[in-house]
Structure 1
């Protein structure tokens, strides 16, 4: 791979190479940040079989990444409250740009591209105002900062795009934080999580939980092909949590998925990632705190199975199922009743697996 990357880099530098695509980076199926036992960090491209196709060093621990829809570019976000993100050419391994959060802002570790790849959107904290923002970056102009707008809530974490559109979905967790207080949660009694739908800066719709469940922080998102939003939550209350998974569709109300009390306790009030199965009949959520993955029937909206996996967190749609990753280095394919452990290369996988539902054919 190093020789191939050097060759591609040389071709690009001389202008002789055609427009590059994810095929030039080995056509990965997933991206994930990882750590090594020596304390170094990297962004990895992973195949459907669990092979590491490329590995690019990162200066600090990563969280999630955003993948360009056509070019082999990934934006690697530092763990919140990070103030920078790195744009990487995954075909050559070269750093293309650094995104610095404006003064008074920090990133939440997530971002998403517009449908045509011209713009990158990032979730950010305006910590002086205690308000969430969506940063807008010009991917066609060296990722220059182009503007920002209100996220429609406090503590925006995950951000996704509805299929076939430029409608953004933002998981506003409702929790106010400030860098001077570290990761302390400053407003638990008054937190107000929501989902917002935004297009070109215009707030189209806001969906909220029932007031009695306002301490259920909405954190992570998965989107079905038909635009249904599944979301995972992190409970901040003292009494038992009502649910940790919900679904929503624009124009409708939020519906919570049901699980027995003991199963909710097993998650230790924390969903780390969420994903639809390939046939969208299941929704899978993970809890690194509980060391467990749970499977819900997407039609009946009831829990169907639990799988114990130490430090499991990452989850992404996979061929015929869902792939999950663990901090102990495992990549596990959940397919029906089967659980197949793939090659992981001994890395410690970080919080999220990012699926590349992209056309990886050469341009």
Structure 2
């Protein structure tokens, strides 16, 4: 009975321990990785661009997945990566370290289920770049509990839609597991794949055969079910092709061209993408530009910004980060500076909520 009483007392005490929330981490609106001096950090950012926390990382980060309830972020290594870190953003500590199964590599992105119980991540079979979706139990110390095929080669970003469907950008590129040489550019076939919350294949679309070398890399979601795709062109650099595609299930893919002189500004590379309000924005770090479209995919403008990196929706526009440390708001008046920090912001800006 003493043992039982002790157990019940411990259980009752556990129930009274307050659970930490994102308020305990300063109520950030965004997460972003950055280079700070000779090291790397993960930052929480307020909507005005102020840093509310910064946590050291052991190596350069790529993107992060934010837990919908607890102040936890999973930071994924640059692809191909062999670790992901679960970061307690309230305490500034590494809570767990995730390692892929033998012969696998993480591919830079992940997403939580709506209730925060499961984490999904993109990964590849190292030797073939065949795609997998890893499934981890966030309620049990991030134990790996399942995996599903991504139904493509080289999956990169995946996003959870409002109904729980997972949409996966299968980039189509097979890479050498050691040096990342691209091995199949002549035959690559990217696709956009929709999976049920249980991993069943629901739908899949590909681009026109003339665009089979346009790798689908990053995704943004609209409230109406639109998936906006940022593309990276692996074909003839003398060709200027659309780098934005829009898709809704049961509809054809819509390619969103720009005037030819504007297309060259992107240098064939769309990095981050965001859909907010009535605008879609693509960044191009090598081009040093942000391109803006309406939500129907009509081109609006090109804005010059050195090393434009991350972009994410704000309540009144879009937030843009860049490699010079600047944070700006993109709205009707163009890019308006918010803050500048002594950092080099990395590829992505992740909105919480």
Q: TM-score by structure 1 length?
A: 0.91
Give the superposition deviation at 1:313.
1.3
1:337 aligns with 2:336: no
The alpha-carbon deviation at position 258 of structure 1 amounts to 1.8
Which whole-Å deviations, capped at 9, do the CAs of 1:69-126 have from their partners, x for residues lacking one?
A: 1110000111111110000111111211100011111111100001111100000011
Using CA pairs under 8 Å that are at least 6 residues apart, name the structure with larger relative contact order, 1 or 2: 1
1:142-185 per-residue CA deviation (whole Å, 9 max, x = no partner) reads: 0011111100100100010112x2210000000011322x1211
Residue equivalent to 1:209: 207
The 5-angstrom pairing of residues 133-282 of structure 1 reads: 133-163=132-162, 165-180=163-178, 182-199=179-196, 200-238=198-236, 239-277=238-276, 279=277, 281-282=278-279
Alpha-carbon shift at residue 251 of structure 1 (Å)? 1.1
Residues 39-50 of structure 1 mapped to structure 2, 5 A cutoff? 39-50=38-49
1:339 deviates by 2.0
Q: How does 1:6-85 map to 2 (within 5 A)?
A: 17-37=17-37, 39-85=38-84
Structure 1 residue 15: Cα displacement:
7.4
Q: Deviations over 1:169-203 (max 9, x none)?
A: 000000011322x1211100010001000011101
**Distance between the aligned counterparts of 1:58 and 1:91, measured in 2?**
15
Deviates more, 1:339-348 or 1:250-259: 339-348
Q: Is the 8 A contact 1:52 1:344 kept in 2?
A: no
Cα offsets for 1:117-144 (capped at 9, x unmatched): 1100000011223311101111011001
**In structure 2, what is the Cα distance between the partners aligned to 1:251 and 1:20?**
41
Q: Following the alignment from structure 1 to structure 2, what is the Cα–Cα distance between the partners of residues 343 and 15?
A: 41
Distance 2:120 2:176 in 1: 21
**Deviation per CA, 1:272-328, whole angstroms, max 9, x where unpaired?**
100012x2x1110000000000001113x2211111110011010012111011011
Tell me the CA shift for residue 344 of structure 1. Answer: 3.2
Query: Deviation at 1:16?
Result: 5.5
Aligned-partner Cα distance in 1 for 2:95–2:250? 40
Name the CA shift for 1:266/1:338 in 2 (closer, same or farther; >3 Å). Answer: closer
Partners of 2:183 and 2:18 in 1: how far apart?
51
Equivalent of residue 319 in structure 1, options 292, 299, 315:
315
Offset at residue 17 of structure 1 (A): 3.6
Higher Cα radius of gyration: 2
Flag structure 1 segments of 5+ consecutive residues without an equivalent: 1-12, 358-363
Structure 2 unaligned blocks of 5 or more: 1-12
Q: In angstroms, what is the RMSD of aligned CA positions?
A: 1.3
Q: Aligned equivalents of 1:129 and 1:68: distance in 2? A: 31
Match of 2:351 in 1: 355
SS of 1:140 mapped into structure 2: helix
Runs of 4 or more, structure 1, over 3 Å off, are 13-17
Task: Measure the CA separation in 1 of the matches of 2:340 and 2:166.
Answer: 32
DSSP-derived class of the 2:140 partner: coil
Matched, 1:289 2:286: yes
Partners of 2:200 and 2:86 lie apart in 1 by 27
2:187 and 2:126 mapped to 1: Cα distance? 16
